[in-house]
Amino acid sequence: MTTVFVSHPTGKLGHYFGDRAIAALRQVANVRFNPGNTDLSSPELAALAADCEVIISYRQTVGDEMLFAALPQLLVFVRCAIDIRNIDVPSASRHGVLVTQASAGFIASVSEWVIGVMIDLSRGISASTAQYHARQPVLAVMGRELRGSTLGVLGYGQISQYLCRVALALGMRVLVHDPYTPAVRKDIEQVEFLPLLQQSDYVVCLAAATEATENLMNAAAFSAMQRHAVFINASRGNLVQEDDLLAALDAGTIAGCALDVGRAPDQMPSAQVAAHRCVVATPHIGGLTPPAIEHQALETVSQVAELLQGRVPTGAVNAAHAFRWKHATAAFQPV
């Protein structure tokens, strides 16, 4: 039977893979786990997975040249996440290793997080709560309703499309900027980047992290926003120039900010930004709900099952170059 190594640290396994996925994986393969509670370096992973045909990788696990070269038996590197930026796919292809990724199972959960922080920032919920907890005087501050306000969304992928539908149902005006994906709904306005910043009460970043979007939100972008507007990042920290964000908050150029991601390890918000009095920050929990996690974990197991049947699963990113897996397909025996 094929041996699969799961690289999740022990403390992350329950939250980011789960018992149902583990049980399902054991039905199709021998399963070994990361014995420690830390992320594995490539040499550590190579030593632990030396005789394994498949690695299911935690989102922090790097797939690099050293790893693929050190594991001649490795056939498939399965990412239990949608983000594969820390996998060297060309290197995997040179070594004939198939790479797969999961699809987005966190569309609803991330959208709900965005709505939650929009309400929080608009009504001062976290700020009031902190004052009460500190036993300080608390003033009743006038808030803003989402209804009648303008939401500007950067990027129009699956999460954005879901979020826009929710925002429309709440009575919001919705603007979208995405040079690659048209907004086909008549009740969504597709605009250029600058007009979106100028007109929006809430600017939500859901664009993909690419070279083109690196530091997309910088001093010029923040200066174009309305002074009462807030910035929300549920995408990746790479899209934000953090010094410029802090300067905009300090100067009152924008009224507030909510972050679920940043440039700290594991895509967490940076401590300096998260500590700012005008920021609501969470530790990358937008997609951390049981349905969202189980979607990706169980999809990962399904990918392994497909591979063991000799079929290329949905989510394969370099199937044309996966010569190791193709040569070994006959050795995979259905359980």
pLDDT-derived band at 328, boundaries 50, 70, 90? confident
Kindly state the average pLDDT of the residues 62-70: 96
With a cut of 70, say whether residue 61 has pLDDT above it.
yes
**Distances from the Cα of 271 to the Cαs of 36, 240, 260, 261, 335, in angstroms?**
26, 14, 12, 11, 48
pLDDT-derived band at 41, boundaries 50, 70, 90? very high
Kindly state the average pLDDT of the residues 162-183: 96
> By the 8 A CB rule, do 206 and 162 touch?
no
245: left (phi over 0), alpha (psi -120 to 50) or beta: alpha
End-to-end CA distance of the chain: 8
With a cut of 90, say whether residue 333 has pLDDT above it.
no
With a cut of 90, say whether residue 219 has pLDDT above it.
yes
The pLDDT of residue 229 is 98
107-281 carries CATH number 3.40.50.720: yes
pLDDT-derived band at 331, boundaries 50, 70, 90? low
With a cut of 70, say whether residue 170 has pLDDT above it.
yes
Q: Where are the domains of the chain?
A: 3-104+289-331, 107-281
Which percentage of the chain shows pLDDT scores above 70?
A: 98
Question: Which long-range CB contacts under 8 A does 237-241 form with residues at least 24 apart?
Answer: 237/261, 237/262, 237/263, 237/264, 237/267, 237/269, 237/270, 238/209, 238/213, 238/214, 238/263, 239/154, 239/205, 239/207, 239/209, 239/213, 239/214, 239/215, 240/205, 240/215, 240/216, 241/215, 241/217
Average pLDDT of the residues of the chain: 94
pLDDT-derived band at 330, boundaries 50, 70, 90? low
pLDDT per position as a tens digit, 251-274: 999 999 999 999 998 889 999 999
Q: Strand, coil or helix: what is 268?
A: strand
**What is the distance between the alpha carbons of residues 190 and 186, in angstroms, rounded to a whole number?**
10
Q: Tell me if domain 3-104+289-331 and domain 107-281 are identical in fold.
A: yes
With a cut of 90, say whether residue 200 has pLDDT above it.
yes
With a cut of 80, say whether residue 325 has pLDDT above it.
yes
The pLDDT of residue 231 is 98
> By the 8 A CB rule, do 48 and 5 touch?
yes
The pLDDT of residue 334 is 44
The token pair that represents 296 in the structure block: 């990706």
What's the CATH number for 3-104+289-331? 3.40.50.720
**What is the distance between the alpha carbons of residues 27 and 13, in angstroms, rounded to a whole number?**
18
With a cut of 60, say whether residue 239 has pLDDT above it.
yes
With a cut of 60, say whether residue 335 has pLDDT above it.
no
Kindly state the average pLDDT of the residues 204-225: 95
The token pair that represents 45 in the structure block: 């992973």
pLDDT per position as a tens digit, 88-141: 999 999 999 999 999 988 999 999 999 999 999 999 999 999 999 999 999 999
**What is the distance between the alpha carbons of residues 194 and 177, in angstroms, rounded to a whole number?**
9
The pLDDT of residue 104 is 87
